[in-house]
Structure 1
Amino acid sequence: MNPDKKQILVHYEKSIVWVKNLVNVTEEQWRTPIALGKWSVAEVIGHLIPWDEFVVSKRIPFLFTEDNLPKSPNVKEMNAHAAYSGRLQSKEETIEKFVNGRQHLTNALHHLTDEQWQQSLHIGGSKLTLYRYFSGLMDHDLQHFLQIQKVLK
């Protein structure tokens, strides 16, 4: 397996386990903001869900076709809606939705060939590889997971 693909898949598989373990935090911890004036743990995890869905349905199927990529959603609106959902849902429901979405994403990535991981892509005005694209998403996850770890200590 391509080492870049393997690194991204390992991250996503570990992220599933990591988020599943959040079921053990108290309701108070789950609803605690990661910093003053910031989202709660619930909202942070909740906002990752629609982005995974977007990547699975609006990015991966179009990356190696002649079709134009579907337009990206409005980031602020999508994040605000996802954070709102995270506030309303139970911890278990949010975790389950995250896990299901992340598993779909992982399955979709498994189907990409090693050759596709080496090809250049055009996303927006950027030219990059699959690894670079998913590495950015991985870094985003890790940033949020670190914030959550700090607030849960």
Structure 2
Amino acid sequence: MGIQAIIDFRNTIEEISMLKEIDEHKLLDPIKEGKWSIREIVGHLYYWDKFILEQHVPSIAQGANLIAFPDHDFHNNEAIQHISSIENVVALID
């Protein structure tokens, strides 16, 4: 991973952290009809990062081949179900 990727990740974390200052109700509304809410988008990013950290990073450290990504639609639906158990948007962001 190059230095620019690390900078980009840090900037994304800072941008998402700023969402904690926005009224939670605004984060729960879909961004557009038929689309996800900001909460769901953040949860989606979190759940993919969780997968990569738990499944890929240990394999990379050991020099092994990476397992395949799961079915995207299934994983995204699983992410939305997972974040429903998280108390509020601030907890999700943290």
State TM-score, norm by structure 1: 0.53
Q: For residues 24-57 of structure 1, give each alpha carbon's deviation from its aligned partner in whole angstroms, at most 9, with x where no partner exists.
A: 1112211111211011110000011121122222
Amino acid at match of 1:93: A
Separation (CA, whole Å) in 2 of partners of 1:50 and 1:11 = 18
Amino acid at match of 1:19: I
Amino acid at match of 1:13: R
Separation (CA, whole Å) in 2 of partners of 1:88 and 1:32 = 18
Q: Which residue of 1 aligns with 2:75?
A: 78
Q: Choose which of 16, 32, 56 in structure 2 pairs with 1:19.
A: 16
State TM-score, norm by structure 2: 0.82
Q: Which residue of 2 aligns with 1:94?
A: 92
Matches within 5 A, 1:106-121: none
Amino acid at match of 2:92: T
Separation (CA, whole Å) in 1 of partners of 2:52 and 2:82 = 19
Contact 1:46 1:82 in 2 (8 A): yes
Looking at secondary structure, tell me which structure has more strand per residue. 1
Which protein, 1 or 2, shows the higher relative CO under an 8 Å CA cutoff with sep ≥ 6?
Answer: 1
Per-residue deviation, 1:85: 3.3
Q: For residues 122-144 of structure 1, give each alpha carbon's deviation from its aligned partner in whole angstroms, at most 9, with x where no partner exists.
A: xxxxxxxxxxxxxxxxxxxxxxx
Tell me the SS of whatever aligns to 2:44.
helix
Bigger-Rg structure (1/2) = 1
Cα RMSD between the aligned structures? 1.9
Unaligned runs of 5+ in 2: none
Percent identical: 26
Q: Which residue of 2 aligns with 1:38?
A: 35
Amino acid at match of 2:89: K
Amino acid at match of 2:2: K
Unaligned runs of 5+ in 1: 97-153
